């Protein structure tokens, strides 16, 4: 069992305008990209749980050419709101870093190809 950051060269979050947050997850290589996507862990449903937003509010882009997954969600507290904790949204990727990724063999057992 490894954590998501061990498969990536960059995990970042940032505002996409004042009302949305976007996550860019760039993988080290094709194998890491495939393994994480095949593990079935990095999904709209998981993001919805982690960030307390509706599944249908999660936009998920799998960008094969860049070995990248991009995910965009609405901000529950808008940028600059009196209650905002992170005006530029630069630290919201924190909970993603250590998401556990099952190793390939157990992933294959769970999701026969």
Partner 1 sequence: MAAELDQNGFTVAPPNPDLHCTPQSVSAHTLYETGDPYHLVESGGTLDTSDAKFEASGNRAVRVTGSRFLPATKYTVRIEGAALVGYRSIVVAGIRDPLVLRQLDSFLSTLRKVVERKISENLNLATNQYTLNFRIYGRNGTLGEVEPETSIDGHEIGLIIDVVAPSQSLAADIMPIVSHTGLHNPIPEHEGLISNFAYPFSPGGIDAGPVYQFCANHVWELDDPCKPFPMSLENV
Residues that bind partner 1 (CB under 8 A): 14-20, 22, 24, 26, 50-52, 59, 61, 63, 65-66, 68, 70, 72, 76-86, 91-92, 94-95
Residues 26, 75: Cα–Cα separation, whole Å: 22
Tell me the two tokens of residue 66: 């860049």
The least CB distance from residue 109 to partner 1, in Å, is: 27
The least CB distance from residue 46 to partner 1, in Å, is: 11
Tell me the two tokens of residue 92: 């919201």
The least CB distance from residue 45 to partner 1, in Å, is: 15
Question: Which is nearer to partner 1, 22 or 35 (by Cβ)?
Answer: 22
Q: How far, in Å, are 2, 21, 80, 95 from residue 86 at the CA level?
A: 28, 11, 8, 14
CA dihedral angle for residue 79, residue 74, residue 71, residue 53, rounded to 10 degrees: 130
Question: Which is nearer to partner 1, 17 or 111 (by Cβ)?
Answer: 17
Question: Which is nearer to partner 1, 55 or 77 (by Cβ)?
Answer: 77
């Amino acid at each position: 069992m490894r954590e998501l950051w061990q498969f990536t060269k960059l995990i970042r979050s940032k505002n996409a305008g004042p009302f949305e947050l976007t996550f860019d997850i760039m993988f080290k290589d094709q194998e890491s990209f495939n393994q994480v996507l095949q593990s079935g862990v990095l999904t709209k449903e998981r993001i919805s749980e982690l960030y307390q937003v509706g599944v249908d509010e999660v936009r998920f882009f799998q960008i094969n050419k860049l070995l990248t997954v991009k995910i965009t969600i609405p901000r529950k507290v808008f940028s600059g709101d009196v209650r905002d904790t992170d005006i530029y949204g630069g630290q919201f990727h924190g909970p993603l870093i250590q998401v556990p990724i099952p190793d390939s063999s157990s992933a294959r057992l769970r999701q026969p190809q």
